[in-house]
């Protein structure tokens, strides 16, 4: 028996709250990762620990809450696992490969095309109705991301592979979310979250096995790794597996664009970064797009 999400009073509001909460938490990952990179750990190693630390919590919760873990694996888990180990892994690789040679402002701006793509998937793949406020919201989010990175917008020393990765990242991520939407509707949240991270964890396990673990975590790095694995990992993916099937790929993508706001606020409040008025306006547009979409929906 599959675990279809049950609609009811307040179901959408809870899904929206979960998506917003999870996206805010994943926005903290770069803050905790800075010290790990400075300690010599590369991206693959940090992500390897992120997924396996999270799985240490998610798998017991899945075992406890699932109505039938073996059945869920057969109906949805395998699809989510394969989605994670292929498209999930590819999306993270293309993103971090892109930022090696292309300015991060360009990478982030192009990445936020993905809410537009997921809305198109909602319409043409799942035959869901797309409302005008969602179209306006994704446009505001994209323009906001563009303004947030405007002062450093340029191609720099970009190479052809880096540019291809910039373009590929939002496309792959959108397909990843669209496929996850299909399967998370057939899985309980913790079982679905575990299957996704098992795929990603195994994928990065292969990467580490092939290329080696460039830095073994020191004792002082453990708190940051735990924060990334639990706060920016387990809670985030559980909120993803809960909220996505109760919303849609497009509606979920609009809400979790809040991650960009979180990243910028952490940079300003905790890292002392300085923003121009144009950048503040960009972040404001992202927030307006998200909030306005929800307010219009709430009145219907």
Q: Which residue has the higher pLDDT, 107 or 112?
A: 112
Look at residue 2 and tell me if it is in a domain: no
How far is 193 from 241, CA to CA, in rounded Å?
6
Look at residue 211 and tell me if it is in a domain: yes
Q: What is the pLDDT confidence band of residue 276, given thresholds at 50, 70 and 90?
A: confident
pLDDT score at 118: 97
Q: What is the pLDDT confidence band of residue 35, given thresholds at 50, 70 and 90?
A: confident
Determine the longest span between alpha carbons in the chain, in angstroms. 54
Mean pLDDT to the nearest integer, 209-229:
84
pLDDT score at 1: 43
Look at residue 52 and tell me if it is in a domain: yes
Q: What digits encode the pLDDT tens for the residues 187-206?
A: 999 999 999 999 999 999 99
Look at residue 198 and tell me if it is in a domain: yes
Q: Which of 125-134, 172-181, 271-280 has the lowest mean pLDDT?
A: 271-280
pLDDT score at 152: 63
Answer whether residue 213 shows pLDDT above 70: yes
Q: Which residue has the higher pLDDT, 294 or 143?
A: 143
Look at residue 1 and tell me if it is in a domain: no
Looking at the chain, list the stretches that DSSP marks H as alpha helix, in order from N- to C-terminal side. 11-26, 29-38, 43-65, 69-72, 78-83, 89-101, 104-111, 114-124, 132-148, 160-184, 189-211, 222-226, 235-243, 249-256, 258-269, 277-299
pLDDT score at 100: 73
Answer whether residue 2 shows pLDDT above 60: no
Q: What digits encode the pLDDT tens for the residues 128-163?
A: 999 899 999 999 999 998 888 776 666 666 788 889
Answer whether residue 125 shows pLDDT above 90: yes
Mean per-residue pLDDT of the chain: 88
Cβ neighbors of 7 (< 8 A, separation 6 or more) are 246
Answer whether residue 98 shows pLDDT above 90: no
Look at residue 3 and tell me if it is in a domain: no
Look at residue 6 and tell me if it is in a domain: no
- Nearest CA-CA partner of 258 in 90, 10, 11, 28: 28
Mean pLDDT to the nearest integer, 94-110:
81
If one counts the domains in the chain, the total is 1
Look at residue 48 and tell me if it is in a domain: yes
Range of the domain at 169: 11-299
Answer whether residue 4 shows pLDDT above 70: no
């Amino acid at each position: 028996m599959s675990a279809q999400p049950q609609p009811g009073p307040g179901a959408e509001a809870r899904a929206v709250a979960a998506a917003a909460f999870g996206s805010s938490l994943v926005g903290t990952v770069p803050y905790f990762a800075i010290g790990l990179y400075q300690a010599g750990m590369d991206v693959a190693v940090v992500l390897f620990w992120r997924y396996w630390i999270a799985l240490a919590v998610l798998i017991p919760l899945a075992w406890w809450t699932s109505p039938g873990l073996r059945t869920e694996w057969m109906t949805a888990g395998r699809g989510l696992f394969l989605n994670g180990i292929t498209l999930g892994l590819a999306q993270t690789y293309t993103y971090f490969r892109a930022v090696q040679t292309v300015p991060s402002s360009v990478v982030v701006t192009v990445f936020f095309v993905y809410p537009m793509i997921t809305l198109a998937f909602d319409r043409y793949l799942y035959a869901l109705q797309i409302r005008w406020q969602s179209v306006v919201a994704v446009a505001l989010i994209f323009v906001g991301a563009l303004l947030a990175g405007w002062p450093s917008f340029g191609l720099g020393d970009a190479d052809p592979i880096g540019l291809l990765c910039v373009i590929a990242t939002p496309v792959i991520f959108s397909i990843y979310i669209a496929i996850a939407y299909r399967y998370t509707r057939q899985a309980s949240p913790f079982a679905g979250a575990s299957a996704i991270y098992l795929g990603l964890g195994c994928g990065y396990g292969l990467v580490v096995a092939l290329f080696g673990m460039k830095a073994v975590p020191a004792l002082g790095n453990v708190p940051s790794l735990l924060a990334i694995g639990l706060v920016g990992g387990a809670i985030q993916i559980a909120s993803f597996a809960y909220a996505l099937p109760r919303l849609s790929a497009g509606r979920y993508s609009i809400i979790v664009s809040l991650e960009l706001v979180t990243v910028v606020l952490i940079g300003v409040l905790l890292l002392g970064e300085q923003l121009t008025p144009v950048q503040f306006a960009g972040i404001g547009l992202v927030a307006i797009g998200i909030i306005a979409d929800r307010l219009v929906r709430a009145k219907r």
